[in-house]
Amino acid sequence: MTLMSPFTLRDLTLRNRTVVAPMCQYSAVDGFANDWHFAHLSRFGIGGFGLVIFEATSVVPEGRITYGDLGLWKDEQIAPLARIVDFLHSQGAAAGIQLAHAGRKASTPVAWRGPETLQTEEQRRAAGYEHWQPVAPSAESHDPANPNFQVPLALDKAGIQRVIDGFVSATQRAEKAGFDTIEIHAAHGYLLNEFLSPLANHRTDEYGGSRENRMRLLLEVTEAVRAVWPAQKPLLVRISVSDNAEGGWTVEDSVVLARELKARGVDAVDCSSSGFAQGRIAYAASYQVPFARAVKQGADIPTMAVGLLGDVDAAESIIANGDADFIALARGALNDPNWPVHAQRYLGAEDYSLWPVQTQRVSEHDRVLGLRG
């Protein structure tokens, strides 16, 4: 059962190769985690996942996708995150956090909360409603046809330094919260991805133009984060391996980037794709696995595959064939928070030790139903 085998990154050994990918919940007020986040994330530790990565957590207030995003821009936000980390550790799971800046895709509405729910000051205060102008590499809307996206301010040198400083400070807070790993979010059309992609970056200074220049900010953030993140703890980066759009970022670009990230102390690359209005890709089971394979082989670095990977046989084959080192689930984990323990049983394990002690009577349930000997 390759899928259920342990894997070590630096001093962190994960109990298996299953990962909960970051999933925005848009349920915070002023960036603070609450009981929803505790319940949502804790169940994945109970369900046997090896690593649970918390949702995109903004390093500065203006870096939130919505006013409902998690944040780690002030010390007071540490304690409620640490409570969740401690519980995941008690269940044998490792805890990671995705540090993020939404760039020009910031200050957008919470999808399920219509204007009619934010008409009074009391309603807005209860929801934590805020609105602000986003920032980006260039003063261009993510999608001019969509009124939810504003024209951002182009970052100047001081603004770029604020971004770097924000990642550093959030990293230090993540260490205080007890996280085992952090993931720098450089995918899905958010700020660091915007700097990488020629679809969004039209700067003429040292942060724009050539691929080397467009990679500069992510590499500077990575160096600054690695410098303050404990040497024994692994560092991950999520990238969009391809923009899936003409004239955009390519797989070949990502291989070059992954080599540079590895040279700066990154231990694994989380391989997703797309994120810009111009990009399109057909969804299908395991549709992004070729991206993880290309980066793993081209840069000789561990990779994480993500995207409709809920089929256990396929997940086992992906790991066994060396296409990726980790299988990350998002919607699949929402659908079945116990996916790892179910996968382990499906793959023939007689051992129920991955189940919490409070739930191991499931073994008797399975015996009666003929699911085990």
Q: Number of helices (H) and strands (E) in the chain: give both, helices first.
A: 12, 13
Q: CA of 138: how far to CAs of 54, 149, 155, 186, 291, in Å?
A: 29, 14, 7, 17, 27
The upper half-sphere exposure of residue 132, i.e. CA atoms within 13 Å in the direction of its Cβ, equals 16
Angle between helical axes of 251-263 and 289-299 (0-180°, round to 10): 50
319: exposed, middle or buried (Cβ count in 10 Å: 0-12, 13-18, 19+): buried
Structure tokens at 339: 């996916």
Handedness of CA 7, 12, 15, 21 (dihedral sign): negative
Nearest residue to 308 via CA among 38, 105, 21: 21
How far apart (Å, rounded) are the C-alpha atoms in residues 100 and 167? 8
Q: Which is catalytic among the residues 26, 67, 129, 190?
A: 190
Please enumerate, as own/partner, the contacts of 225-230 that have beta carbons within 8 Å and a separation of 24 or more.
Answer: 225/99, 225/167, 225/168, 225/171, 225/182, 225/184, 226/264, 226/265, 226/266, 227/168, 228/168, 228/171, 228/172, 228/175, 229/171, 229/175, 229/182, 230/175
Q: Is 352 a catalytic residue?
A: no
Q: Which residues pair with 13 in a beta bridge?
A: 8
- Torsion sign across C-alpha atoms 237, 255, 141, 280: negative
d(CA 68, CA 30): 7
Round to whole Å and give the CA distance between 44 and 373.
27
DSSP string, 184-212: EEE-TTSHHHHHH-TTT----STTSSSHH
Contact present, 15 and 327 (Cβ < 8 Å): no
Q: Cα–Cα distance between 65 and 159 in angstroms, integer?
A: 18
Catalytic annotation, residues: 190
